[in-house]
Structure 1
Amino acid sequence: MTPQDAENLLFRYAAQQCTEQEEELVNAWFNKVVKETDYAEPFSMNVHAMSDDWERLIAERGKQMPVHRHKTRIIGRSVAAAVAAAAIAVGVLLYYKPPTKVNNAAIAATMDTTISHRDNDFKLTLPDNTVVYLNGASSLRYARSFAGKQREVFLEGEAYFEVSPDKKRPFIVHSRGQKVQVLGTHFNISSYDGEPVSTTLLEGAVKITTTGSHSQEVLLKPGFQATLGPKGFEVKEVDPGSATSWKEAFVFNQTPLKNVLKQLGRWYKVDIDSSRVTAVTLDAVYGKYETLPNLLKEITQSTGVKLVLNNNVITVE
């Protein structure tokens, strides 16, 4: 587990987005820190040390620890302090009052984590007046105020940024495997798990840097897109509007049906059974506020593949 993976897992835990096994891992780490630490004052823990701890816990659990299922999780004073220490390690301060118990929702709120609505785009304005549009199943983590020499946010999923200009304080977006640095510009980042990370620039200029062991840097011009792959960045000229069309509609251009369903699953908060999906592609534009049953009927007519919704799962009949 990399330090970035550990950091992301901690914030997914706070936002109640973890799997049961991930919750077990974080809970085990909390218990370990509680036993080993004096909480007279919150302390700073290096995120690399946190990552190493979790690697050891994963190894131990694989060998001797069964998976226990927790139905509820209420965190008291000592664990709240552990969360505070972990949050300090990744640059976010959690405040807690000793007599008050802290539950998941409270932790998520204090961390200033914003989670998009799963069935609606979400627009927000950051403390520096930067405007961000979050796509479905996406989240953005940011500080309560940008008081330092730079403005940093952490993205999971996809977002479109209209960055407020500030020549003295660069705006930095951290996403999976890369960071994007700008002074003031408009750009889109897509970084869903299991999909390539792509950055598309509409205006201005951005500098993109990989965060892996072999650092690579690219300067992007308007109308170009940088996709991060195993060998680094691939830069190509694109239609910038196609990268941001998700703000208004579903736009499919020779899109494999499996990818179409993946997008619908994120938006309508349903699961996908793609085991019987054929290699057909789709060319179509649909409004994002169309009902899912109507959309499935239209896609069925266009592709000849009968799609049905049963028990919140889209399948091929």
Structure 2
Amino acid sequence: MMKETDIFNDESLQDDIQDLVAIEQAMIRQKYPLPNLDDELEKIIGKEKVDAEKPVKHQHPAMRTLMGALMGAAAMLAIVLVWQWVKTKYACGGASENLIAQNVSSEQGMAILQTADGEMITLTLSDGTEVKLNSNSKITYPHQFKGKERMIHLEGEAFFKVKHESKRPFVVDAGGILTKDLGTSFNIKAYHGSDCKVTLIEGKVEVAAKNSHHKPVILNPGQQYSLSAQSTVPEQIKNVNTEETTAWADGVLYYHDQPLEYILGSLAAYYRSKVVFKNSAVKTKHLDFSADKNGSIEDAVELLNNLGVAKVSLIGNTLYIE
């Protein structure tokens, strides 16, 4: 007879359950229907569930224990059945290639989570590390960390709040850089074709270019390590405004002392718009600007006009600056 504890100690089953939770959350965002778990449970245990909840006179203690174990096993089986339903549904018709904006998939003990335009996801890894994944980004991580290092792979941008383990460092492989935590929170921006930037918020990290003969560098809070997408440019370290670097993780588009041309170019990319400067003299004017990422482009235009630096108009899908 299978014990209730045997189910929860089954590592393979736990991996499936973890995948199910991630997929369920993403499906809710994409408004996909999910089978009702209560209904599935009812189908499995049927009338026994109702009978088990009623008072039973002179029921032997061993029988109550057995019923509790059976209930737990049935509940776990219901979860697994729903998980199988999800995998079957999205394996058909090519949908698995566009899963959840699209994106939770799993292979060989690894999970892959990918975000779409304008989407941000927060997840907690099995070791307790919190990751905020920015839009158009992808993270590959194991269901359970094993070995001497906790290695994950990133394409795009993510903010990490690492659960520190002195004997098992957390390592991020992104943009040609290996970033090893020494008890910290940090931001990595490594979109394909762009410079890779590691910004330390608190604690310490050790960074090293994978194809460099230089020794690893330890960053202090407020420092940013960057590696150019052009291999001929050496690594650079500079002090930066960390609020600007990590504002996206708080749902804010934030720019500090940046030229108007840079700000509008960034906003246009975010809102998928175009920019036309009718007055080129205002391109180099520096300003501070912030807007809610969940706001509309019309909201951003209104905030820009309130600054009085230039007149910004939205016509169709184009921003005109006068």
With normalisation by structure 2, the TM-score equals 0.58
| Corresponding position of 1:200 | 199
Deviation for aligned residue 1:213? 5.0
Q: Find out whether 1:104 has 2:97 as its counterpart.
A: yes
Pair 1:131-2:130 in alignment: yes
CA offset at residue 139 of structure 1?
A: 2.3
Q: Tell me the residue number matched to 1:254.
A: 257
**Residues 61-105 of structure 1, C-alpha deviations (whole Å, 9 max, x = no match):** xxxxxxxxxxxxxxxxxxxxxxxxxxxxxxxxxxx99xx766414
Match of 1:264 in 2: 267
Where does structure 2 lack aligned partners over 5 or more consecutive residues?
A: 1-86
Identity of aligned residues (%): 28
Q: C-alpha separation between the residues in 1 aligned to 2:279 and 2:226?
A: 26
- Contact (CA 8 Å) 1:257, 1:277: kept in 2 or not? no
Figure out how many residues of one structure are paired with residues of the other and give that number.
218
Amino acid corresponding to residue 259 of structure 1 in structure 2: Y
Residue identity opposite 2:190 in structure 1: S
Tell me: higher relative CO, structure 1 or 2? Use CA pairs within 8 A at least 6 residues apart. 1
- Whether the 8 Å contact between 1:114 and 1:139 is mirrored in structure 2 is yes
Q: CA RMSD in A?
A: 3.1
Distance change in 2, residues 1:260/1:195 (3 Å)? farther
- Cα deviation for residue 120 of structure 1 reads 4.1
| Structure 2 CA distance for aligned equivalents of residues 315 and 117 of structure 1 | 27
Q: 1:295: Cα distance to partner?
A: 0.7
Q: Which has the larger radius of gyration?
A: 2
Q: Report what 1:233 is aligned to.
A: 235
Q: 1:284 aligns with which of 281, 285, 289?
A: 289
> How do 1:182-201 and structure 2 match up within 5 A?
182-201=181-200
Query: Which residue in 2 is equivalent to 1:179?
Result: 178
Tell me which residue corresponds to 2:247.
245
**1:26-72, Cα deviation, whole Å (9 max, x unpaired):** xxxxxxxxxxxxxxxxxxxxxxxxxxxxxxxxxxxxxxxxxxxxxxx
Equivalent residue, structure 1, for 2:18 = none
Q: Give unmatched runs, 5+ long, in structure 1.
A: 1-95
- Provide closer, same or farther for how the CA distance between residues 274 and 150 of structure 1 changes in structure 2, counting only shifts above 3 A: farther
Contact persistence 2:264–2:275 (CA under 8 A): no
* Mapped contact 1:169–1:183 kept (Cα < 8 A): no
The answer (yes or no) to whether the contact 2:178–2:210 under 8 Å persists in 1 is yes
Deviation at 1:179, TM superposition (A): 1.3
- How far, CA to CA, are the matches of 1:286 and 1:250 in structure 2? 5
Deviation at 1:164, TM superposition (A): 0.8
Cα 1:181–1:238 change in 2 (3 A) is same
Q: TM-score by structure 1 length?
A: 0.58
Deviation at 1:161, TM superposition (A): 0.5
